[in-house]
């Protein structure tokens, strides 16, 4: 084959989530949309804030076309980067400025660019299981190798002993994702402090920086007043990969940013490497209209009570029926123990009840499924009898 084999195999085999989502569309045509309980995709069901929609209309009427639809600076418009940096400083007291921010097309681009900026061939990247499956694709694309750190059973917090044992001379970076996909777990401040302590110790031992990349598309989706520690305040060699996909329900608009910690060793050089990696990957000039939308709606928020209600209905009912899962503090996923060892076999049985959940072996933990509850409340309520029938089938 003359084309790139790796690219072909990625394009030829869809992710398990996409497979299920495609199946759900076909099945809906056969039996009707309301009879298929699709919990596969993390597509926000809550509308973007009104302020966002109004701003889009206002900008389209008022602003000139070049500002809205023309190229911006490769790393993003200056007024947008300034506003974001000021906002981060106000919220988390980090002395960021516009020269630490690079606008990107969502968290996926932020991660791809950051990894490309940091990695040389053969470098290792530690990820905490369960983890977003695309990390493997992004790390390998940057020439790196993924190393999986096992979680603490039951809580899905980080297993610090296992983490420390996975760090080697080859470790270039660690990706941390809290609130987490697929568990919904938020890592505690104590956990973050311990992770950073280990990283500082190992960086010293190997006499080189080990970078901490914080993947934060779910930062704003937390319930019951839980705080998500801001990584830059705990570890200097850190980058934040942020996205408005879930925070403002704008996943199709592809907008986010990378923030490079100004306290990092050689922070300026790292920022330039980020700009260079964006350039080499063709990710210059994130969507201009949405850069300006973000500037104008910097404090806008989606109504997370809708997700919280969904979480409570699903968690309370499923656990009452006998399903096992940790109560998620954030994001919009429930990570449920399959009722048999093989999560794929469980998925097939659930499918017979029109319940479409995602088997999570590829997320680095076997025997679990992910339920995305970013759906209409009606779908959750209507699916409950099917969950009940499914567990009864296992109890027989």
When asked if residue 199 is in the footprint of ligand PLP (CB under 6 A), the reply is: no
- Do residues 119 and 144 make contact, with C-beta atoms less than 8 angstroms apart? yes
Asked if 217 touches ligand PLP (CB under 6 A), the answer is yes
CB of 344 to ligand PLP, least distance (A): 21
Binding residue (CB under 6 A) for ligand PLP from 171, 177, 203, 288 = 177
Applying CB under 6 A, does 287 fall inside the site for ligand PLP? no
214 lies in the site for ligand PLP, by CB under 6 A: no
- d(CA 208, CA 75) in angstroms, rounded, equals 27
Distances (CA, A) of 333 to 137, 307, 309, 361: 22, 10, 13, 16
The first and second tokens of residue 170, run together, are: 């080859």
Any contact of residue 148 with ligand PLP (CB under 6 A)? Answer: no
What is d(CA 296, CA 255) in angstroms, rounded to the nearest whole number? 14
* DSSP-assigned letter for residue 105: S
36: which residues sit within 8 A by CB, 6+ positions away? 24, 27, 28, 354, 356
Smallest CA-to-CA distance from 324 within 154, 158, 157 is with 154
- Site for ligand PLP, residues 33 to 62, rule: CB under 6 A: 42
Binding segment for ligand PLP (CB under 6 A), chosen from 56-64, 66-74, 219-227, 243-251, is 243-251
Q: How far is the CB of 110 from ligand PLP (least distance, A)?
A: 7
- Assess 232 for contact with ligand PLP (CB under 6 A): no
Using CA atoms, how far apart are residues 344 and 340, in angstroms rounded to an integer? Answer: 9
Q: Which residues within the stretch 59-78 sit at the binding site for ligand PLP (CB under 6 A)?
A: none
**Which CB atom, from 107 or from 336, has the smaller least distance to ligand PLP?**
107
Contact flag: residue 383 with ligand PLP (CB under 6 A): no
Selected from 114, 178, 243, 291, the binder of ligand PLP by CB under 6 A is 243
- Report how far residue 130's alpha carbon sits from residue 136's, in angstroms, rounded to the nearest whole number: 12
Q: Is 251 in the site for ligand PLP (CB under 6 A)?
A: yes
The angle that helices 288-296 and 78-92 make with each other, rounded to 10 degrees, is 40
Only segment of 32-40, 100-108, 166-174, 299-307 that touches ligand PLP (CB under 6 A): 100-108
CB nearer ligand PLP, residue 41 or residue 321: 41
The answer to whether 217 and 132 are in contact (CB under 8 A) is no
By CB under 6 A, residue 159 contacts ligand PLP: no
**198 within 8 A of 167, measured Cβ to Cβ:** yes
- In the set 44, 144, 151, 256, which binds ligand PLP (CB under 6 A)? 256
CA Rg, the chain, in Å? 21
Can you say whether residue 131 is alpha, beta or left, with left for phi > 0 and alpha for psi between -120 and 50 degrees?
beta
Q: Could you tell me which stretch among 5-13, 103-111, 146-154, 259-267 binds ligand PLP (CB under 6 A)? A: 103-111
Which tokens sit at 120?
């040389």
Among 68, 96, 108, 186, binds ligand PLP (CB under 6 A): 108
Applying CB under 6 A, does 100 fall inside the site for ligand PLP?
A: no
The two three-digit tokens of residue 49, written as one number: 């804030």
Query: What is the rounded CA–CA span in Å between residue 178 and residue 184?
Result: 8
Q: Pairing state of beta strands 256-260 and 358-359?
A: unpaired
Beta strands (DSSP E) in 76-123 are 101-104
Structure tokens at 234: 């705990």
Closest approach, Cβ 243 to ligand PLP, in A, equals: 3
Residues 322-341 that bind ligand PLP (CB under 6 A): none
- Does residue 181 interact with ligand PLP by CB under 6 A? yes
Residue 124 binds to ligand PLP (criterion: CB under 6 A): no
> Which CB, 81 or 219, lies closer to ligand PLP?
219
Label residue 249 left, alpha or beta by phi (over 0 means left) and psi (-120 to 50 means alpha): left
In the set 44, 106, 151, 359, which binds ligand PLP (CB under 6 A)?
106
Q: Report the nearest approach of ligand PLP to the CB of residue 107 (Å).
A: 4
Of 40, 100, 159, 245, the one binding ligand PLP by CB under 6 A: 245
Q: How far is the CB of 211 from ligand PLP (least distance, A)?
A: 17
Which span sits near ligand PLP by CB under 6 A: 44-52, 104-112, 136-144, 147-155? 104-112
Where along the sequence are the contacts to ligand PLP (CB under 6 A)?
A: 42, 106-108, 132, 177, 181, 215, 217, 243, 245, 251, 256
């Amino acid at each position: 084959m003359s084309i790139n084999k790796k690219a072909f195999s990625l394009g030829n085999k869809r992710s398990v989530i996409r497979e299920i989502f495609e199946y759900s569309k076909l099945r809906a045509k056969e039996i009707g949309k309301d009879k298929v309980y699709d919990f596969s995709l993390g597509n926000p069901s809550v509308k973007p804030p009104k302020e966002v929609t109004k701003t889009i209309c206002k900008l389209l009427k008022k602003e000139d076309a070049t500002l809205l639809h023309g190229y911006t600076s490769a790393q993003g418009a200056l007024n947008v980067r300034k506003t974001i940096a000021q906002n981060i400083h106000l919220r988390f007291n980090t002395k960021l400025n516009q020269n630490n921010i690079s606008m990107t097309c969502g968290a996926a681009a932020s991660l791809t660019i950051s990894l490309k900026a940091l990695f040389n061939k053969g470098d290792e990247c530690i990820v905490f299981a369960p983890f977003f499956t695309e990390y493997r694709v992004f790390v390998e694309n940057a020439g790196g190798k993924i190393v999986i750190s096992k979680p603490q059973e039951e809580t899905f917090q980080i297993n610090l002993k296992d983490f420390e044992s996975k760090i080697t001379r080859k470790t270039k970076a660690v990706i941390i994702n809290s609130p987490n996909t697929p568990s919904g777990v938020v890592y505690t401040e104590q956990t973050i402090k311990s992770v950073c302590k280990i990283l500082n110790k190992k960086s010293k031992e190997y006499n080189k920086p080990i970078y901490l990349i914080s993947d934060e598309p779910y930062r704003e989706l937390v319930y019951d007043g839980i705080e998500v520690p801001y990584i830059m305040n705990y570890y200097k060699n850190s980058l934040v990969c942020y996205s408005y996909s879930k925070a403002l329900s704008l996943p199709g608009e592809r907008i986010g940013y990378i923030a490079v910690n100004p306290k990092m060793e050689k922070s300026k050089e790292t920022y330039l490497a980020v700009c260079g990696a964006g350039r080499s990957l063709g990710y210059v000039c994130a969507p201009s209209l949405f850069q300006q939308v973000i500037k104008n709606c910097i404090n806008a928020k989606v109504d997370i009570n809708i997700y919280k209600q969904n979480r409570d209905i699903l968690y309370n009912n499923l656990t009452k029926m006998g399903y096992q899962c940790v109560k998620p503090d954030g994001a919009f996923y429930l990570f449920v123990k399959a009722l048999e060892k093989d999560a794929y076999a469980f998925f097939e049985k659930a499918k017979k009840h029109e319940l479409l959940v995602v088997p999570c072996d590829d997320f680095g933990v076997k025997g679990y499924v992910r339920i995305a509850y970013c759906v209409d409340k009606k779908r959750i309520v209507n699916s409950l009898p099917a969950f009940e029938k499914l567990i009864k089938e296992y109890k027989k």
